[in-house]
Amino acid sequence: MTEATPGRRGGRQLPTADELRIWRDFIETTAALGSRLESRLQGDSSLSTGDYAVLLALSEAQGEAMRSSELASHIGWERSRLSHHLGRMERRGLIRRQECATVPRGAQVLLTTAGADAFRGATFPHLRAIRELFVDALTPEQIVAAGEIATALKARLDAPRTQ
């Protein structure tokens, strides 16, 4: 729709100065928002957002357990990243790993009671921080717009041709 006429808009190769200024504001602010959330979570619960994502997925799984690669695809991580992270979480006693009986070569990831406790303690302050720093910072219309922008950006990222 926006790309119907390659004459004006599609012909340009580079962003304008205004577009570039908005781009920088946008990417830097969202990155800063992410790190602020990260450090709030860290201070409130000694968990990273990565820890939180893993614990959330395990909490919602039946038996509070999942196969490793299943967990990886559920939270959208590479297997290697998850393996490293699980190693660190295991050292801190948040999860356990054991061989999977049903699937050969599969590894079950189990929530420990310490992990479940940490997750429960982290949830409320984390959601409150999301509300303070994101929801309350925007008007309802802006929240809707943010959702639409995310959808549009995601569609472009997932599009095969543009790489």
Q: Is 101 among the residues that bind its own copies (CB under 8 A)? A: no
* Residue 79 touches which of DNA, its own copies, none (Cβ within 5-8 Å per kind): DNA
Out of 26, 88, 93, 98, the only residue in the binding site for its own copies (CB under 8 A) is 26
User: What are the CA-CA distances from residue 20 to residues 16, 23, 24, 57, 159 (Å)?
Assistant: 6, 5, 6, 37, 22
Tell me the per-residue interface mask from 45 to 84 with DNA, x by CB under 7 A, - otherwise: ---x-xx---------------xxxx-x----xxxxxxxx
As measured in angstroms, the least distance from the Cβ of 136 to DNA is: 23
Window 101-140: residues binding DNA (CB under 7 A) = 103-107
- The DSSP symbol for 99 reads E
Distance in angstroms (rounded) separating the CA atoms of residues 64 and 59: 5
- φ/ψ of 139, rounded to 5, equals -75, 160
Distance in angstroms (rounded) separating the CA atoms of residues 112 and 13: 53
Tell me the per-residue interface mask from 134 to 153 with its own copies, x by CB under 8 A, - otherwise: xxxxxxx-xxxxxxxxxxxx
